[in-house]
Amino acid sequence: MRKFETFSGVAVPMADHNIDTDRIIPARFLKTIKRTGLGVNLFNDVRYNDDGSEREDFILNQSHYRNSEILVAGDNFGCGSSREHAPWAITDFGIRCVISTSFADIFFNNSFKNGLLLIKVTPEQRDALLEDAARGENARIEIDLENQKIVRPDGEEITFDVDPFRKHCLLEGLDDIGITLQSDDRISSFEEKQKQSMPWMQGARV
Amino acid sequence: MKGNMMDGPKTLFDKIWDSHLVEEKDDGTCILYIDRQIIHEITSAQAFDGLRENNRPVRVQDAHLLVADHNVPTAGRADGIENEESRIQIELLEKNAKEFGLPFIDFLDVRQGIVHVIGPEQGFTQPGLTLVCGDSHTATHGALGSLAFGIGTSEVEHVLATQTLLQKQPKNMRITVNGKLPEGVTAKDMILAIIGKIGTAGGTGCVIEYAGEAIEDLSVEGRMTVCNMTIEAGARAGLVAPDQRVFDYLEGRPMAPKGAAWEQAIEYWKTLKSDDGASYDIEVELNAAEIEPQVSWGTSPEMVAPIGSVVPNPADIEDPAKRETVEGALEYMDLDPGQSLTDIHVDKVFIGSCTNSRIEDLRSAAAIAKGRKVAGSVYAMVVPGSGLIKEQAESEGLDAIFTEAGFDWREPGCSMCLGMNGDMLEPGERSASTSNRNFQGRQGPGGRTHLVSPAMAAAAAVTGHLADVRELAADVAE
Ligand code: SF4
């Protein structure tokens, strides 16, 4: 995983609440067997017309948002299915950070595992950032994970909380599986114990 | 240390969590042992790739069960799979099962079906164990007292490699449904009413334990319907304390413990309930007697109402953001404020999905379909949850009831729940569906979904519009 570095970028405002994973990446694009290449289908059904041409009224089709790296969203972003294709599509498009007041649990987990930073802010802070984002390229926002702050275009800083473990993994670009396997002995002794106390839990052949 | 690790009354969830804790780090991140995982074709290919790239084996082969469901055709499958992308995914699942030595059910096997239907059906799902699947509706398995939740593909890989997950302990929430459900009101109506009450983010960060007389009265299948849609309330998992109904359900299933192991398991399973005085972070109570048959009118499962009511008027909503959301939903759904729900005509009816495709769902839909005809303007399909359910239904003659009424009787899979396999809504079409999500485009781009119970779906099929099943049921009685 690529290390997460401080950056400043254009933010795209999407104020709708409950933007679900079917909207982020409709099910018919889950037929892929790869993690990459989903960016073109991000928000597919609201982004394109039936004939495949772009819908002018969709915000990511407007010239100053095409290279957005930050998304500022309404409440409960990412609700719905467990598809990791949602963060894959978002990051493949080039977005590295989503800011909202709340996120759905599975989406939250999936995002951090793919180097996508999710930041929770208060409704007032979100509304202010939505206003910044509405100014497109005229208002770049800085995301500083190390110091846990968002720097607004006028220089004002918004600090945020982040789970220390997730922060560490993002900054170092670490892979969870490698970290967990450091506890291999403990996992093995758990398995031994369970084999004794709950023998029926052992696997079941088809 | 977290309060629930201390001696004192524990919730059911705390008990299962604590018994699977391998390690807790200072910041509260836990390594949680995962007993079982079900794997399907849509969310696993990239996980197996990850194992190969890093040269990692599967830690415990027998802990997994692989089956294709999301993308399988529901007709003519013996002739092979026409859609190339689907075929590649399904073939890849089998290839991965063989390469890593994992238990696998072929898509032509009679035991094939939707992951959340076949787990319990095969006895793979059991009380007190931790179970995951790369699918959000894994919460279904909580109906048997298993701590079960959906995960993403990276986590599927994590479980394959380590048999654990990195997690923080969710909060405890209890929803108690007191009293008895009225005649004609089902588990589906109950869970829709619950989501209508607490909202789609009402359970975020929590595991919900369902309790109360109305929950105890439900069959194991009914409890699966309730737990299934827990994710639609934003929670990680749903749980019901296992009781004699669950033990009876499991006894003799192919993967359930046998002989002495069965006795030992039962003894343990009986301890799986919340202690008196256990505390919950959030408590909600409902009165079952007040629940009516529900339908969703909008584009989120919290947008539901009793069938006898009308489409809400956004002008009545004070919060501007909420008002806008409702306006947007009504525009997408092409509905007018104040319109009677029973005036809404449907083009398609879908009876199926991991929410409502089990035998009792099919029986309750068939009871309404019997002796009636699907309205001329409607296409209606029934998709059993598994090959075994299909067989059972056929042995009871349910298929004949459906086909005589004009329903299409299909082969098992996810089908029109998510419209990936070709069974889908056309733009602008409207469905009554027993599935779990009415998101924009969920059943096909531009499609409009009304979530209902199986009996209500059958009622919509035969009348051509959303209808109160209690009125039709009364007819039959006469
Ligand atoms: S039936 Fe629908 S909700 Fe259930 S597993 Fe399949 S796609 Fe997911």
Per-residue model confidence as pLDDT tens digits over B278-337? 999 999 999 999 999 999 999 999 999 999 999 999 999 999 888 999 999 999 999 999
Joined tokens for residue B247: 């033990």
Q: Is A38 exposed, middle or buried (0-12, 13-18, 19+ CB in 10 A)?
A: buried
| Pocket lined around ligand 1, Cβ cut-off 6 Å | B 69-70, 114-116, 135, 137, 353-354, 414, 417-418, 435-436
Structural domain including A153 reads 7-191
**B435 pLDDT higher than 60:** yes
Cβ of residue B317 closer than 8 Å to a chain A Cβ: no
On whether residue A201 sits in a domain, the answer given is no
What share of chain B has pLDDT > 70, as a percent? Answer: 98
Find the B207 Cα to ligand 1 centroid distance in Å.
20
Q: Output the pLDDT for position B6.
A: 58
| Amino acid identity, position B155 | E
The answer to whether B162 contacts A180, with C-beta atoms less than 8 Å apart, is: yes
**Distance between B420 CA and the closest CA of chain A, angstroms:** 5
Measure the CA–CA gap between B150 and B142, rounded to whole angstroms.
Answer: 12
Q: Output the pLDDT for position B474.
A: 65
Q: Output the pLDDT for position A153.
A: 96
**Ramachandran assignment for B283, one of left (phi > 0), alpha (psi -120 to 50 degrees), beta (any other):** beta
* Helix, strand and coil in chain A, % to nearest 5: 40, 20, 40
Q: Number of A to B CB contacts under 8 A, please give it.
A: 202
Into how many domains does chain A fold?
1
Q: Is B429 exposed, middle or buried (0-12, 13-18, 19+ CB in 10 A)?
A: middle
On whether residue A75 sits in a domain, the answer given is yes
On whether residue A199 sits in a domain, the answer given is no
Q: Output the pLDDT for position A206.
A: 55
Instruction: Return the CATH number at A97.
Output: 3.20.19.10
The answer to whether A45 contacts B446, with C-beta atoms less than 8 Å apart, is: yes
On whether residue A148 sits in a domain, the answer given is yes
| ipTM of model | 0.91
Q: What is the pLDDT of residues B293-303, one digit of tens each?
A: 999 999 999 99
Q: Contacts from B243-248 at CB under 8 Å and sequence distance 24+?
A: B243/B216, B245/B219, B245/B220, B246/B127, B246/B143, B246/B144, B246/B145, B246/B220
Q: Output the pLDDT for position A203.
A: 64
Q: What is the pLDDT of residues A40-63, one digit of tens each?
A: 999 999 999 989 999 999 999 999
Q: What is the pLDDT of residues B383-428, one digit of tens each?
A: 999 999 999 999 999 999 999 999 999 999 999 999 888 899 999 9
On whether residue A144 sits in a domain, the answer given is yes
On whether residue A47 sits in a domain, the answer given is yes
Cβ of residue A40 closer than 8 Å to a chain B Cβ: no
On whether residue A168 sits in a domain, the answer given is yes
On whether residue A2 sits in a domain, the answer given is no
Q: What are phi and psi of B131, to 5 degrees?
A: -140, 135
Q: Nearest CA to A88 among A32, A172, A130?
A: A32
Measure the CA–CA gap between B150 and B130, rounded to whole angstroms.
Answer: 11
Number of other residues whose CB lies within 10 A of the CB of residue B78 = 7
Cβ proximity of B417 and B435 under 8 Å: yes
